[in-house]
Amino acid sequence: MTIDEIFSELSTHMLKGIMLHDEMAQCYSFIGVKSKAKSHYKAVRHEIKNLQKLQNLYSDYYGKLINQGPIQKSQEIIPTAWFNHSKKDLSEANRQTLIKSINDSWLRWEELTKKEYQNKYLKLMEMGEISVADFLIPLIENTEKEIMDAREEQLFLKSINYSKEVEL
């Protein structure tokens, strides 16, 4: 794997994360859990900043732009059929299912992200790109915190049977 491929894959993964957090925010907003929508919109902004830092790092170290190929969503959070419905069409059971799905998707994504960052860190270290690899350390640490937050939220949600009545 080349440096160019490593940065391209990191960039692609970050863009997918931005799309995922945006879709989660839309879902929470749709079902009326505004505090979680805000939280995921904040995550979108944070992920964009990290992507910009990655792009600047690559440009500064290697004098190139990241060759970004086409991006496809890694997960669909909102069921396609729901785009034909309004909020009033959703039952409490649908809301509970969506809340569970959103949180499960978030946890899976963050676990995948941690593995992705660790894998790229190791590859960069093996290539002797220590300074560049060090860029990933705070991303790995932040992702570990997000995993802990998602697990904690998952336990809480299970305890209230995925009801939106208690503000998350």
Query: What digits encode the pLDDT tens for the residues 64-121?
Result: 999 987 888 766 777 777 778 788 888 888 888 888 888 999 999 999 999 999 999 9
CATH class of 3-64+92-159: mainly alpha
- Give the CA radius of gyration of the chain: 18
CB neighbours (10 Å) of residue 139?
21
**Cα dihedral sign, 86-90-96-100:** negative
What is the rounded distance in angstroms from the CA atom of residue 76 to the CA atom of residue 148? 23
What is the rounded distance in angstroms from the CA atom of residue 151 to the CA atom of residue 144? 11
Global confidence as pTM: 0.91
What is the rounded distance in angstroms from the CA atom of residue 135 to the CA atom of residue 26? 30
